[in-house]
Amino acid sequence: MGELQEKGRLAKDAAYQLAVLTTEQKNKGLLAMADALEAAMDDVIAANALDMAQAKENGKPQSFLDRLLFTEARVQDMADGLRAVAELPDPVGHVEEMWLNKDNLQIGKVAVPLGVIGMIYEARPNVTADAAALCLKSGNAVMLRGSGDAIQSNLKIAAVLAKAAEEAGIPAGAIQLIEDTSRETVNEMLKLNEYLDVLIPRGGAGLIQNVVKNATVPVIETGVGNCHIYVDETADIEMAVNIILNGKVQRPGVCNATESLLVHKNIAAKVLPAAAEKLLEAGVELRGCEETMQYIKEGKPATEEDYATEFHSLILSVKVVETMDEAIMHIRRFGTKHSEVIVTNDYANSRKFQQMVDAACVYVNASSRFSDGFQFGFGAEIGISTQKLHARGPMGLKELTSYKYIINGSGQVRK
Amino acid sequence: MGELQEKGRLAKDAAYQLAVLTTEQKNKGLLAMADALEAAMDDVIAANALDMAQAKENGKPQSFLDRLLFTEARVQDMADGLRAVAELPDPVGHVEEMWLNKDNLQIGKVAVPLGVIGMIYEARPNVTADAAALCLKSGNAVMLRGSGDAIQSNLKIAAVLAKAAEEAGIPAGAIQLIEDTSRETVNEMLKLNEYLDVLIPRGGAGLIQNVVKNATVPVIETGVGNCHIYVDETADIEMAVNIILNGKVQRPGVCNATESLLVHKNIAAKVLPAAAEKLLEAGVELRGCEETMQYIKEGKPATEEDYATEFHSLILSVKVVETMDEAIMHIRRFGTKHSEVIVTNDYANSRKFQQMVDAACVYVNASSRFSDGFQFGFGAEIGISTQKLHARGPMGLKELTSYKYIINGSGQVRK
């Protein structure tokens, strides 16, 4: 039997047991995992050093190395993250509603774990601990498939966590790493319907599209964010500039960063020079339409391709629009249904924008950077869904549950 | 451009408009559709007669012909169904929760339509009207792909409904039937991610598995129900017999019918003969384990295959179990996570069964036949989900929605 089959069967068995653990039992596991990770600090960093050496040898860029690197502080962050998840409320068992039907059957809708979750992710080994914690707290078994580039780090972290969890009473198989990082094994995992209830890919567009296009296991699509700010005619200039600057430069490499700026023609002469001053100061390259160039002499011409691109860097596409409707149509065409912002002081336009724009998060007068489980108050997140099925936007513990109906009768039969 | 591309684009455009229609506008459309269907009664029945003639020529079995046939009463039922959906509460716009985050951002979770729904179904042309009504009321555009065996009926119904809807102000493209019923077109529809937000297959296991295995569009899997009744040691005999009989014979061809009976050994001598008497009287064939045969002399030996089979007919598999745990393990092995029943008067066992059995609907002391949107009080249903993602069990209007977050700020940026 292959690794996937063997681990899948173990995970499925574990999932049945995990589903009925008490909150206290799961928290005990999480705290033990945090302690074990701290105790294994040196080993984790040593394993990570092997990955780092390999990555450097392979000529990976600096941004890649930054994400891959473990320092003491980062391992401590992972351990703290495990403890923070222990503090969060347990979503399992919550009865969302309960009612009597016409036959006097009592019908309750109860939150239950999804079962076995497959995580497929790139070379960010902290995901190994984060995902393990969130899946355990929500009563799910997890099969982790990280990148080959982080395999030594992942093996060490997963081994430490799985051992600590098991010793603390969590069923064996609850947390498992797939050791075979070949492409064939991923492709097999995408079709592992017998054991997996859901797949959550996390990473770049290529990884996610491979999963979406080839998986037969249900997928929660995450991540791609071509987010816009539309500055309406009545916007407060200073507020607009702050929100643009924050959206673009506070952390440009993430999915909720702002990639494109749309400005109403009647306010362009005021907003664009003011925004450009700050953006250029922060090192942002501006790519605009013809009208944009009238207000920003440092700008470069934008192509259609620019409007469709999630830059993930200090580049912002800019367009002057005739009307809010034009902005909405532009977002419909180029947006990825992640996070969209209007800056306005017009009440009717604020409502219309929120209603007409189809995205997970639609903001009035706030930065797109708030699209995040921690910022929303969920305490943690496993990703940001850009699909409409099951979960949309930031996903916390609750989004890692399904539900079942429990029906209490006294002998009712159907007429 | 092919039919799917053309209709997909129309549907997507319509979906944006449908999402912001008022409840009144949608209800006006539904009532106009009901009136039009009544007015077209003769045409619908004439079109259906062509399908019936073809089906007879093709030697289809009687059960198939029964499902395909339209009578005046059945067309009237469809029209009444459209009016009933108009009466149901509109799920769109409901704010499930709204809160202030730490930065004083007001964050609301608002129900929105899924977008464009693809329905793939077999030769039950009433689904054409039912699905159109539920999708419209929930603000979704729908692309209907029925069976080639019902194409004349479907074409007529869809044309009548689409015309009436459009004349009542519903956007063109909201309700569309795929006219090309070739296998290639279905397979293309399964990958129509550009236009479809979700696929809902309805029909036999073969149809559903084809969709699940080949779709890249997110799927809600419906339908397959290998449902069990476990009769616990403390069960009331009469209640158990009633529930068994109702589960098996009240309507054997549907997914929430009972297919398998598990009986605790300490009550088998009482329950099995009493149940067998009624079941045999109703024409049910009983296939049991060795111990079952001791109590039911008319029984035939059951194979592993029998325990795995959703008979959809008057056949019941039977097994005597040593313990409730054995029953739970049997259900875990052979169940399809649809509807499972325990008959018991033991409080602890009732709770344990509901907690340990992983199914959409877990009953204590009631018939599995209640797993149905109408019986649950949803007023209608588009199907019964057997997956865990998005929706589980009977799906009403609410399950045809997603949500978005609307975030109201006053200039907040992320620190």
The ipTM value here is 0.94
CA A105 to each of CA A405, B344, B388: distance values in angstroms, whole numbers, following the listed order: 12, 16, 23
Whether the per-residue pLDDT at A46 is higher than 90: the answer is yes
Instruction: Give me the residue from A198, A392, A414 closest to B404, CB to CB.
Output: A392
B115 to A402: CB separation less than 8 angstroms, yes or no? no
Contacts of B410 in chain A (CB under 8 A): 365-366
Nearest 5°: phi and psi at B186? -60, -45
Long-range contacts at B90-97 (CB < 8 A, ≥ 24 apart): B90/B23, B90/B26, B90/B137, B90/B138, B90/B397, B91/B138, B91/B397, B91/B398, B91/B400, B91/B401, B92/B19, B92/B23, B92/B138, B92/B139, B92/B401, B96/B403
Taking CB atoms and an 8 Å limit, are B197 and A412 in contact across chains?
Answer: no
The three-state secondary structure class of A341 is strand
State the sign of the Cα–Cα–Cα–Cα dihedral B173, B175, B177, B178: positive
Nearest to B411 among A216, A355, A365 (CB): A365
To the nearest whole Å, the CA of A253 is away from the closest chain B CA by 15
Contacts of A220 in chain B (CB under 8 A): 389
pLDDT at position A1 over 80: no
Q: Which CATH architecture has domain A227-374?
A: 3-Layer(aba) Sandwich (3.40)
Give dist(CA A55, CA B304) in Å, integer. Answer: 52
Tokens of B179: 């006219």
End-to-end Cα spacing for chain A:
49
Compare CB distances from A377 to B99, B366, B389 and report the shortest one's residue: B99
Do B334 and B321 meet the contact criterion of CB atoms below 8 Å apart? Answer: no
Compute the mean pLDDT over every residue in chain A, rounded to the nearest whole number.
Answer: 96
| Partners of residue A358 in chain B, C-beta under 8 Å | 16, 19, 112, 115, 404
Query: In the beta sheet, which residues pair with residue A342?
Result: A230, A364
The Cα A119–Cα A177 span in angstroms is 10
Distance from CA of B264 to the nearest CA of A (A): 18
Which of A216, A219, A377 faces B213 most closely, judged by CB atoms?
A216
Residues of A in contact with B102 (CB under 8 A): 377
Q: What is the pLDDT along chain B (415 residues), one digit of tens a residue?
A: 799 999 999 999 999 999 999 999 999 999 999 999 999 999 999 999 999 999 999 999 998 999 899 999 999 999 999 999 999 999 999 999 999 999 999 999 999 999 999 999 998 889 999 999 999 999 999 999 999 999 999 999 999 999 999 999 999 999 999 999 999 999 999 999 999 999 999 988 889 999 998 998 999 998 789 999 999 999 999 999 999 999 999 999 889 999 999 999 999 999 999 999 999 999 999 999 999 999 999 999 999 999 999 999 999 999 999 999 999 999 999 999 999 999 999 999 999 999 999 999 999 999 999 999 999 999 999 999 999 999 999 999 999 999 999 999 999 999 9
Specify the pLDDT at position A222: 87
**How far apart are the C-alpha atoms of A173 and A9, rounded to whole Å?**
9
Closest CA to A327 of A372, A362, A276, A371: A362
**The domain B3-221+387-407 is classified under which CATH number: 3.40.50.800, 3.40.605.10, 3.40.50.1110, 3.40.50.280?**
3.40.605.10
DSSP letter (8 states) at residue B368: G
Residue written as token pair 């960010």: A124
Query: Helices A72-87 and A126-137 sit at what angle, rounded to 10 degrees?
Result: 10
Contact yes or no for B304/B273 (Cβ under 8 A) = no
- Whether the model clears a pTM of 0.90, i.e. scores above it, the answer is yes
Angstrom distance (rounded) from CA A373 to CA B99: 14
A267 token code pair: 């306010």
Question: Pick from A198, A359, A390: which is nearest to B404 by CB?
Answer: A359
Of B214, B392, B412, the CB nearest to A366: B412
As a whole number of Å, the CA-based R_g of chain B is: 24
Indicate yes or no: CB of A365 within 8 angstroms of CB of B412.
yes
Closest residue in B to A361 (Cα) is B405
Contact B360 A405 (CB under 8 A): yes
Secondary structure tally for chain A: helices H, strands E? 16, 16
| Chain Cα centroid distance, residue A104 | 42
Non-local (6+) Cβ contacts of A277 within 8 A are none
In chain B, CATH 3.40.309.10 sits at 227-374
Residues A165, A174 contacting (CB under 8 angstroms): yes
Do B243 and A114 lie within an 8 Å CB cutoff? Answer: no
Contact B389 A390 (CB under 8 A): yes
In chain B, which residues have their Cβ closer than 8 Å to the Cβ of A367? 412-414
CB of B210 closer than 8 Å to CB of B314: no
Minimal Cα–Cα distance from B52 to chain A, Å? Answer: 30
How many Cα atoms occupy the beta-carbon half-sphere of A230 within 13 Å? Answer: 32
CB contact at 8 A, B251 and B369: yes
> Which of B208, B223, B213, B260 has the alpha carbon at shortest distance from B386?
B223
Could you tell me the pLDDT band of residue A279, with boundaries at 50, 70 and 90? very high
Cβ atoms B357, B326 nearer than 8 A:
no
Q: How, if at all, do strands B383-385 and B393-395 pair?
A: antiparallel
Q: Across chain B, how many H-helices and E-strands are there?
A: 16, 16
User: Which among A105, A218, A404 has CB closest to B387?
Assistant: A218
Whether the CB-CB separation of B57 and B50 falls below 8 Å is answered with: no
What would the DSSP string read from start to end of A282-304? TT-EEEE-HHHHHH-TT-EEPPH
Q: Name every chain A residue with its beta carbon within 8 A of the beta carbon of B350.
A: 408
Nearest CA-CA distance, residue A394 and chain B, Å: 9
- Which strands form B361-366's sheet, in the order they lie side by side? A95-100, A106-113, A401-412, B361-366, B339-343, B227-231, B258-264, B315-321, B285-288, B300-301
Convert the pLDDT of each residue in B280-316 to its tens digit. Answer: 999 999 999 999 999 999 999 999 999 999 999 999 9
Residue A121: pLDDT band (50, 70, 90) is: very high
Give the distance between the most distant pair of CA atoms in chain B: 79
Best residue in B332, B353, B370 for a mutation probing chain A (most A CBs within 10 Å): B370
Q: What is the pLDDT of residue A27?
A: 98
CB contact under 8 A, A387 and B212: no
**In this complex, which of A243, A361, A362 lies closest to B413 when CB atoms are compared?**
A243
Question: Which residues touch A314 (CB under 8 Å, ≥6 apart)?
Answer: A248, A249, A252, A282, A283, A284, A285
- Between CA A312 and CA A372 the distance in angstroms is 17
CA B128/CA B142 separation, integer angstroms: 10
Q: Over the stretch A319-366, which tens digit does the pLDDT of each residue have?
A: 999 999 999 999 999 999 999 999 999 999 999 999 999 999 999 999
Judge whether residue A148 has pLDDT over 80: yes
For residue A102, give the nearest of B101, B242, B377 by CB distance: B377
Structure-block tokens of residue B265 = 């050994």
For residues A130 and A188, give the distance between their C-alpha atoms in angstroms, rounded to a whole number: 24
Name the residue in chain B with its Cα closest to that of A257: B414
C-alpha distance from B388 to closest chain A C-alpha (Å) = 6
Alpha carbon separation from A80 to A33, A34, A305, B144 (Å, rounded): 10, 7, 42, 51
Q: Which two tokens stand for residue A415?
A: 């007429």
Structure tokens at B279: 């079941």
Q: Using a CB-CB distance cutoff of 8 angstroms, which residues of chain B are in contact with residue A414?
A: 246, 250, 367, 369-370, 375
φ/ψ of A105, rounded to 5, equals -75, 135
Tokens 């865990």, residue located: B388
Average pLDDT over residues A109-124: 96
Contact by Cβ (8 Å): A361, B407: yes
Q: What residue spans in chain A does CATH classification 3.40.605.10 cover? A: 3-221+387-407
Place of tokens 């098996």: B248
- Token pair of A227, please? 């987010």
- Please give the Cα distance from B255 to B276 (Å, whole number): 22
Are the C-beta atoms of A335 and A278 separated by less than 8 Å? Answer: no
Place of tokens 């497929």: A120
Say which residue the tokens 């089906």 belong to.
B55
pLDDT above 80 (res A166): yes
pLDDT score of A47 = 98
Residue A111 CA to residue B319 CA, distance in Å, equals 31
Closest to A200 in 3D by CA, of A228, A175, A220: A220
**Residue A223 scores a pLDDT above 80:** no
**Cα–Cα distance measured from residue B160 to residue B154, given in angstroms and rounded to the nearest whole number:** 10
Query: Which of A405, A408, A410, A415 has the highest number of chain B CBs within 10 A, making it the mutation to test binding with B?
Result: A405
Q: Which residues of B fall within a CB distance of 8 Å from A219?
A: 218
The three state secondary structure string of A371-409 is CCHHHHCCCCCCEEECCCCCCCEEECCHHHEEEEEEEEE
